[in-house]
Chain A
Amino acid sequence: MPNADQIAYNLIYIPLFPLLGALFNLLFGKLLLRIAGDRLGRELVHMVAIAAVAFSCFFTISAVWTEMHIKGHDALTQSAYLWIYSGETQIGLDLLLDHLSAVMCMVITGVGLLIHIFSVGYMDKDPDYPRYFAYLNLFTASMLILVLGASLVVTFVGWEGVGVCSYLLIGFWYTDESKASAGKKAFIMNRIGDFGFIMGMLLIYVTVHSLDFQAIADMCSGGVDSPFVTHAVWGVPVATLATLFLFLGCTGKSAQIPLFTWLPDAMAGPTPVSALIHAATMVTAGVYLVVRLNFLFVLAPFTMAVIAVVGAVTALFAATIAVTQNDIKKVLAYSTVSQLGYMFLAVGMGAWGAAIFHLVMHAFFKACLFLGSGAVIEACHHNQDIREMGGLAEKMPVTSKTFLVSCLAISGVPLFSGFFSKDEILLHAYVNASQWSVGLNYVAYVFGLLAAFCTAFYMFRLYYLTFKGEFRGDHHTWKHHVGEVWIMSMPLVVLAALAAFGGLLGVPHVLGEMVGGIPHVFDAWLAPVTDIAHRFNHSGLATAVSDPDSNYFLGVREGFAHDGHVEGTVELVMMAVSVTVAVAGIALARQLYINGPSDAAARYAKRFGLLYTISHGKYWVDTIYDNLIVRPVRMIGGICYQVFDQLIIDTLGVKGVSGTVGFLGNQIRRWHNGNVRRYLVVLLLGVVGVLAAVYANPTISQIGPSKVNPQFDLGGLRPTLGPRRKPPRPAAPAAPQPPAAPAAEGAAQ
């Protein structure tokens, strides 16, 4: 449904090329390896894959360029074809590139390209080389479809597609049962989220009768008077119910409480996959979805509060787990969960721009961290335990430096990207509040600060344990250390640069003004999407604002939604607080781990024994889920099958019926002993029975000469089964004689 400010553009090429690349490698990859030889084959395979993503990247850039340079147009659209339609349901395969999806596409294709390149080095020796690149390409295509979808259904296509690719890539080394199980777990948890997504779609559909984002936005434009708010399903306003369901989908995809446990397990996949899928792109799809539907979410303040709470709790929760983990990838995984929590905290507070900003920055530094860890793991012969590392900075200078930059970024050290993005989120958390959830903002802020402290601590703990001090692994590994290769270092450098300087895209207003008018480029770019005020027609917003008694309140504070006018001093104080917290975390980590695990660290662990155990045991969430959900489901299935299917229906029902029939049959068979006379007696009794029935039934026995036409006409017989239209018997039949009289007569004869 092209809007006035949208123009058509061939967007399909963006996801098409990775898709074709995936197809090529799936179908011909093995063949190439066999025909062209291993070396050349691999070259061809990854050339195709990388070229596909590069093309896609190129098309994205050109599309964004077009978008920037055609004034008065917010978005590019393309309607590929009508996909699913029936009745009034019309689902087109429509693509939409607006400012939000432009950002996402850039991240996906850009970071994706770098990770593809990195994979060439990382997967060098893998026998399933083509399959790997095919999956990676397929993932890129799906992710692009996800962010380019112009309707919820198309987004769902990508949503599921990335889920499948994630499943395939986590279980890439499928011969290891535990890795395959991790993939399965990820897919099933995502599927639980998909249930929410589907229900959300249905609820939106019944309200709008369309799933186009544009149509939903239009329907929302009534503000609190839109049907989303005024009408309810199951007693809950549609907006609230639909967004809650959609958020369930987001928790699945973005690994939030309660569906986060799959993400740490997902580290079973190859490390570049973890970087691309489980850090930079796929897991942020939930954040993207909420931002994409921000006009709907603001109509549901309850959901917004839930999102903010879940985000804040997840951020802290995961961060506390990450503090004690010893697997380099597990630390990063929990860190990712924690950072995603930040993003949800932001969207829960209505800070859409901040959320996306953090999403992008996170994509840079977390991808860099993961790729760096990948390089380390490769170097340490696939040992991932940081207790057995140390001093690697000496052997891997590039990796250690880029890792350090990313650590500084994620910790929120000033001037690095994370500083800007995280700070913006904390600021919003502090300032934004709806009347619905008074005080929630302060709680969220404190959670965020604590998580920030933990983040700084565990990231530098990781850094020091890995790169500083003495090497603690075995001698052999140290000696045969795999050196750095340019194809793996190059992406690291690029990402580190982005992590270091990307934050300048979003310089806070107060700082920007101080320095001399550096704008918040990112906010300005996203304004058409995130500035929700223009989405609502005037009356709707006016109602909400002018009704002071309303406990219904837009999820975003009116004043903030426009340009974030917070007093400069407040903003500066907040910055100082978060910087202090970050530095404190780094300092503590340095104190304890600069030369490997110190005695002090062990002492602390002992002193806070309970806390340490809980954190180290990851709160036993997996065990709890296993015992509370997985086993009961299996047990119920077993009981259903054993008791219901086998016992009740089959044994009692089917076998019972057949057994009864068999028993009766046997009894009756005893009568059929071939004795003709006995048959005849039964026949006789039957005849008596029938005639007695005739005799006893006045209706039938009335058919006598008085009623029967002597000229018996068989053609006049009419079936008497159904009720007749006009009852053929006009008069009541004559009263039957009492049976005693003929009996006496018969006896007399």
Chain B
Amino acid sequence: MSDVLTILLVLPIVGAVIVSTLPQRETNLAKGVGLGISVLQFLVSLSLLSGFELGTPGMQFETNVPWISELGINYHVGVDGFSLFIILLTTLLTPLCILGGWKSIDKRGPEFTAALLVLEVGMIGALISLDLILFFTFWELMLVPMYLIIGVWGSEQRVAAAVKFFIYTMLGSALMLAAIIYLAVAHYNATGGVWTFDLAALQQVVLTPREQTFCFWAFIASFAIKVPLFPVHTWLPDAHTQAPTPGSVILAGVLLKLGTYGMLRFAFPLFPLAAGEGTLILGILAVIGIIYGALVAYVQSDAKRLVAFSSVSHMGFIVLGICSVSVQGFTGATFQSLGHGLTTGALFLAIGVLYERRHTRQLSEFGGLAKVMPWFTAMFMIAMLGSAGLPGMVGFVGEFLILVGAFAHGGLTTPYIRELVLVGAVGVILGAVYLLHLFQKLMFGPITNPKNEHLKDLSLRERIVFAPLIVLIIGMGVYPQPFLSRINPTSNAAVAEFNLKRCASIMHAGSWADHAVMMSEIDGCEDPERLIAAVYGDERPFPWIEVPTETPEASPTAETQPPAPQPAADRPQQGAR
């Protein structure tokens, strides 16, 4: 059973090898084989879901085999609540992409399918790696097929977009590699000569504040570009616009999520002290991204570019949730990752459907499609509403948890987070603005362009592609319990671990030591939150309210309330922080 992950890695490679031996003309055969393999892959990945043990925060399906034992690099893979569903999303989206791009990919089919399968390996590998070098390997492996997919099968300016994508992401990962090595060396020194790149082991290293800052931002540089955060987002619209439909779907659906996943899995737990000091900047960038992405999306004339900018906006929410370092924030971020993958994936597929028919993505070319393509309009609408965060659809659950987590619990880690939430929530309004704008331009109004008069509604193949997405968009919004119950324990543990290590880092920094030490050498972190609050200030509103009050008499708040006969005039001020 624990070999499932290895199977998940090997199966697409086998598929890619088979497919790439096919002659170039056999485009359909290649796509068929690819589809078969990826569906098989999806079925295999479902066993992760069935075998996943509820209520355990730790890694499951672990495999740990030495790889380069001299340097302590292992093939160490495992799955927990953070990665489980993103893996499933990957294995789900890949066959849908092959099916969705059945018509639009008409040249070099074998190569395309092989690239897609290799991409899947890269993504799954990055999601399950518990060894930093292994992670980095897969992280870089993702780049190449994506680069090819954009560069070979993209639209007019595909090469420029592909190069931009490649350079941006390479830039980040170079810094990350340096930080990985630095961390491993620090571990080597701290333990007196043990090489390892294992995440769990490196997690035990407490770096000095300066080192943490350097490493944290090196990791963040890589992840922020992938997410993408506000000032480094400009590769995304180009890449999305130029990529073929399957590329866009995978890019938006999974690749971006790896940025936030990396923050959750690596950047934040490994360097909590620096994270605690960096979240304000990250949060501000995220909020700027939310507003900025929405505003810019609103003025786009290219449908795909519009959705691409909406990704910038949505990913800002996810980063904000991570910045809050709260159970709700982490769970919400993970859930929103899924939600964004599904909704934006569906939107890109829908725009792909239009592009297949009209070979243009300009909004001005369309209008009134609801008349000729009712099913398409319905699908599009559900995806759009899910993306706008309508309750009962997938977007709301994640967004709500993120906002709650950030607003109510984020103050311990991020100062001013409530103000950030206030500004970020404006994105809710703007989200509706640009999405409805898009929807109206495409679907409503009279059919002004005669070319649109005889557009065909969704074919059976396209309906099959959309169906699972639509079902999930609604199903996950109505009944998110199966997902939340698997994510929550991991979030709980992650937050506790973060606070513990942050506390240890503070103790370590307080000792003025100039070298990294192991966690086990630090003690005095029995109540991490209190210590952190004492050092950094606790901006959580009303942290003293621990549980919802069942009855007024039994309420703990009754005891903690200040005595009643205060001068009433200054009560509001007294309550101010």
| A-to-B contact residues, CB < 8 Å | 1, 26, 30, 81-89, 91, 153, 156-157, 159-161, 164, 167, 171, 174-177, 180-181, 184, 187-188, 191-192, 194-195, 198-199, 202-203, 205-210, 212, 215, 218-219, 221-222, 224-225, 227, 229-238, 537, 539, 543, 547, 549-552, 633-634, 636-638, 640-641, 644-645, 649-650, 653-654, 658, 718-719, 721-725
Contacts and interface: CB of A to CB of B under 8 A. Distances in A.
Contact of B564 (A159, A194, A543): A543
Contact of B408 (A174, A209, A636): A209
A719 B575 contact: no
Interface string B537-548: 000111001111
B409 interface: yes
Which of A1, A89, A167, A645 has the most B CB atoms < 10 Å from its CB?
Answer: A89
Contacts of A547: 568
B404 A89 contact: yes
A177 B446 contact: yes
A232 B572 contact: yes
B385 to A, nearest CB: 6
Given A205-B407, A237-B575, A724-B515, 9 more contacts: A161-B392, A167-B436, A176-B446, A195-B428, A206-B408, A219-B557, A227-B542, A637-B295, A722-B185
Given A175-B371, A633-B298, A722 B189 contact: yes
Given A177-B446, A235-B572, A723 B516 contact: yes
Contacts of B69: none
B234 A209 contact: no
Interface of B: 164, 167, 181-182, 185-186, 188-190, 192-193, 208, 211, 231, 234, 237, 292, 295-300, 326-328, 331-332, 368, 370-371, 374, 378, 385, 390-392, 396-397, 400-401, 403-405, 407-409, 418-419, 421-422, 425-426, 428-429, 431-433, 436-437, 440, 443-447, 479-481, 484, 487-488, 491-492, 514-517, 540-542, 545-552, 555, 557-558, 561-562, 564-565, 568-569, 571-577
B548 A209 contact: yes
Contact of B428 (A87, A198, A653, A723): A198
Contacts of B492: 87
Nearest to A190: B432
A241 to B, nearest CB: 10
A645 B515 CA distance: 42
List the 8 closest pairs (A to B, CB-CB), nearest first: A87-B327, A180-B444, A232-B575, A210-B548, A637-B295, A231-B575, A723-B515, A157-B391
A209 B401 CA distance: 13
A198 B401 CA distance: 12
Contacts of A205: 404, 407-408
B502 to A, nearest CB: 18
Contacts of B397: 84
10 contacts: A82-B481, A207-B541, A208-B549, A218-B549, A218-B550, A235-B573, A636-B295, A719-B185, A722-B515, A725-B515
Given A222-B561, A543-B564, A654 B234 contact: yes
B488 A87 contact: yes
Contacts of A87: 326-328, 331, 405, 409, 488, 491-492
**Taking chain A's interface residues, is the majority helix, strand, or loop, or is none over half, making it mixed?**
helix
Contacts of A164: 385, 390
A175 B446 contact: yes
A184 B381 CA distance: 13
Contact of A637 (B299, B392, B444, B557): B299
Given A188-B429, A719-B188, A222 B552 contact: yes
B422 A175 contact: no
B234 A650 contact: yes
A721 B568 contact: no
A164 B384 CA distance: 12
A513 to B, nearest CB: 37
Given A210-B548, A218-B549, A231-B575, A723 B514 contact: yes
Given A86-B332, A202-B404, A722-B186, A175 B445 contact: yes
B391 A161 contact: yes
Contacts of B444: 171, 174-175, 177, 180
Contacts of B491: 86-87
A637 B419 CA distance: 22
A83 B547 contact: no
A84 B400 contact: yes
Given A175-B368, A209-B548, A547-B568, A188 B433 contact: yes
Contacts of A224: 568, 571
B292 to A, nearest CB: 6
Contact of B299 (A160, A231, A539, A634): A634
A206 B541 contact: yes
Contacts of A654: 164, 234
Nearest to B327: A87
A89 B480 CA distance: 14
Nearest to B392: A157
Given A188-B429, A195-B428, A637 B407 contact: no
A203 B391 CA distance: 19
Contact of B440 (A184, A207, A636): A184
B105 to A, nearest CB: 29
Nearest to A27: B378
A176 B300 CA distance: 23
A637 to B, nearest CB: 4
Which of B431, B437, B545 has the most A CB atoms < 10 Å from its CB?
Answer: B545
A189 to B, nearest CB: 9
Nearest to B567: A549
Given A86-B491, A87-B326, A537-B552, A233 B541 contact: yes
Nearest to A641: B296
A230 to B, nearest CB: 5
A231 B574 CA distance: 7
Nearest to A177: B445
Nearest to B371: A175
B332 A225 contact: no
A534 B303 CA distance: 56
A215 B189 contact: no
A534 to B, nearest CB: 13
A234 B411 CA distance: 13
Nearest to A650: B234
A176 B404 CA distance: 40
A187 B484 contact: no
Contacts of A237: 571-572, 575
A734 B425 CA distance: 64
